[in-house]
Amino acid sequence: MEEEKRETQNQPAEEEDQIVNPWEVAAKDGGKIDYDKLIDKFGCQRLDQTLIHRVHRLTGRPPHVFLRRGVFFAHRDFNEILDSYEKGKKFYLYTGRGPSSEALHLGHLVPFMFTKYLQDVFRVPLVIQLTDDEKCMWKNLTVEESQRLARENAKDIIACGFDITRTFIFSDFDYVGGAFYKNMVKVAKCVTLNKVQGIFGFSGEDHIGKISFPPVQAVPSFPSSFPHLFSGKDDLRCLIPCAIDQDPYFRMTRDAAPRIGYHKPSLIESTFFPALQGETGKMSASDPNSAIYVTDSAKVIKSKINKYAFSGGQDSVEKHRQLGANLEVDISVKYLNFFLEDDAELEHIKKEYAAGRMLTGEVKGRLGSVLSEIVERHRAARASVTDEVVDAFMAARPLPNMFD
């Protein structure tokens, strides 16, 4: 009951010691984001081992590395999704991307890699929203440029390997209307100006486009927004994998949902992928040296890691052999925690590096190999994504194997 109360309260979008909202993530004085405080503030729940074991049992597949290592760490009603699935009722997935850059960086890939895993193990349909309208309103982008970037980003998303028979990708500029717009109006009528200012921190200086946008991101949570997919399935539940900075949108959505006759969407939420320079927020597309892009060559990746990846090692080999590395601040170890699949190898690296038996250069070298392999695999997959393939994913058509 207390969680529901916190969820629907009009809370400010920021605290004194950290700011976390859909447009800004920062901790005071360059500190680390306190995820325990976020859970308490937002009113979501910690994702515990009981739920992770349950996913394993229900799917018969090993939990994703992002689950095993706490990358996805919080949720809202994920247990209800699993309850429904255990009773033989399917659900659908919804995630999205705000297209503001030509290419994605590794932090952008995290929710899509995890969403693909969920689609594969639960065998459920997926809708992916490209909020080209949002980026046009928040960034200095024209409508046409936002639309172009949406299609470019769609190619990177498709390259993650989604099943075309279970996936619908749409851009807001192209799709908003009809049943989708009807649901937007229903949500808009449930949200007062005071509430939207309290949740998102909008001020009198923000243009009205920003204030009117949240219902657009809300309504893909409702199956009736997609009549070509879910006609007659208004009772279908929705699960949203996303980073926790998107939570304000869905606190608002969950408050409105029962008032207009829908299930509250469930969420499974991730930590932020840190910048190379340190864990003070999340990787930023506005600073190319803070990020590893899917267009970076192996040489560029190696150079960025060696030059910019913040090290927890000591400033001399002798001192490092004596004291070892501080794993809490070492970015190479944090990146390996995301992307090195082998649990035993990761633990070996941590143990040897912390003891001073492995040097920073060795850890950075291993990270370079891991990331270069991921990026090269992604680049090869993207090369096969033609405009015709993008059109096929974005066509408003029934999905033939939606629940097979």
- Fold for 298-384, please state it: Tyrosyl-Transfer RNA Synthetase (1.10.240)
For domain 21-276, the CATH class is alpha beta
pLDDT in tens, 190-208: 999 999 999 998 988 989 9
Q: How far apart are CA 94 and CA 131, in angstroms?
A: 13
Domain edges within the chain: 21-276, 298-384
Give pLDDT tens digits along the chain (404 positions). 344 444 544 444 444 588 888 888 888 766 788 999 999 999 999 999 999 999 999 999 999 999 999 999 999 999 999 999 999 999 999 999 999 888 899 999 999 999 999 999 999 999 999 999 999 999 889 999 999 999 999 999 999 999 999 999 999 999 999 999 999 999 999 999 999 999 998 988 989 999 999 999 999 999 999 999 999 999 999 999 999 999 999 999 999 999 999 999 999 999 999 989 887 655 565 677 789 999 999 999 999 999 999 999 999 999 999 999 999 999 999 999 999 999 999 999 999 999 999 999 999 999 999 999 999 999 999 999 999 999 999 999 998 878 87
